[in-house]
Amino acid sequence: MGGTRLRALAPSDEGLLRHFLARDPVERVFIAARVDALGLRRMGCRVWGWFEYGELMAVCHQGANLMSVGADDAALAGFAGVVGRTRRTSTSLVGESMQTMELFRLLVEADESWADPRDIRPSQPMLAISTDPGIEGDERVRPVTMADFAPYFEASVAMYTEEVGVSPLGLDATQGYMQHVRTLIETGRAFAIIEEGRVIFKADLGATAGPVAQVQGVWVDPKLRGRGLAAPAMAQVVRLARRRFRTISLYVNDFNLPARATYARCGFEQVGEFATVLY
């Protein structure tokens, strides 16, 4: 361990962190987006750095989402040692599959409070596209405006509840989720088909940094599923998003075969594998 050092990154390390994250902009876009939006000084959570002979080799974002990037076994053990007794601050582990599952194992060893997640999704193919889709887009897809807030918020709650298994609303969470949706709309990162005041398709650019946008929150009205709506709508989202970002990425549950078929039709290709552990 003589050549290694683990420490919380300080605001003065921001340039070093940005350089590290830029080495893999697709996998690391979530942390990079937070750094772009807030900087290390205002992120409100710790970011741990694992150094080898002075070089930043791995990072662990310790917020509501606990994510490690670039970590080998030694770095993961170090991260587990400093975050293992603070499960209450994290509602999920997410990131590259092998790292995330090994970090989960180490955290359970450190403190039994990590041992009872609501769900474990060990295989979530990470997909990306850097060209326009090979199929026609549905031109009804458009950026959402604040005039659409009420139906878009309703659809966002339905999407989150279906995907995560719990509602994003509650005594302490409703205002925060409303602000999240409002920010997506105000920054031009929310897209939808809205007919007669009802959202029938939606998708967000949930994390954006540099040349990469990560799509999240894809949802089709359950009454309209199986009718071929998703692929043309998603293709249009990609076209619109690529006006601002070179590469569009996302990750999808391996068992969601209809979604995977939709993304394949659009031209997405697998570039990695994520995992998520939900509490």
The pLDDT tens digits for 124-181 are 999 999 999 999 999 999 999 999 999 999 999 999 999 988 899 875 678 889 999 9
Q: Which amino acid is at 140?
A: R
Q: Please answer whether residues 117 and 242 qualify as being in contact, where contact means their C-beta atoms are separated by less than 8 angstroms.
A: no
Give Cβ neighbours of residue 200 (< 8 Å, ≥ 6 apart): 193, 194, 220, 221, 224, 229
- If we measure between CA atoms, which residue out of 58, 137, 49, 43 comes closest to residue 96? 58
Please report, as a single letter, which amino acid is at residue 54.
G
DSSP, collapsed to helix, strand or coil, labels residue 136 as: coil
Predicted local distance difference test score (pLDDT) of residue 117: 94
Contact 243, 141 (CB under 8 A): no
Q: Residue 1: is its pLDDT beyond 60?
A: no
Residue 172 pLDDT: 66
CATH (one of 3.30.70, 3.40.50, 3.40.630, 1.10.3470) for 4-116: 3.40.630
Nearest to 141 by CA among 215, 57, 43: 215
For the chain, where do the domains classified as CATH 3.40.630.30 start and end? Answer: 129-272
**In this predicted structure, which of 74-88, 188-202, 220-234 has the lowest mean pLDDT?**
74-88
Write down the pLDDT at residue 170.
Answer: 76
Mean pLDDT of 231-259: 97
At 71, give phi and psi (nearest 5°).
-90, 135
pTM above 0.85, yes or no: yes
- Cα of first residue to Cα of last residue in the chain, in angstroms, is 33
| Radius of gyration of the CA atoms of the chain, in A | 19
Q: How far is CA 214 from CA 95, 104, 188, in A?
A: 13, 24, 14
% of the chain surpassing 90 pLDDT: 89
The mean per-residue pLDDT over the stretch 173-201 comes to 94
pLDDT at 37: 94
The pLDDT value recorded for residue 96 is 98
155 in helix, strand or coil? helix
DSSP β-ladder status, 65-69 and 142-143 = unpaired
Over the stretch 3-48, which tens digit does the pLDDT of each residue have? 889 999 999 999 999 999 999 999 999 999 999 999 999 998 999 9
Please write the tens of the pLDDT for every residue from 54-67. 999 999 999 989 99
DSSP 196: T
Say what the pLDDT of residue 210 is.
96
* Domain 129-272 bears CATH identifier 3.40.630.30: yes
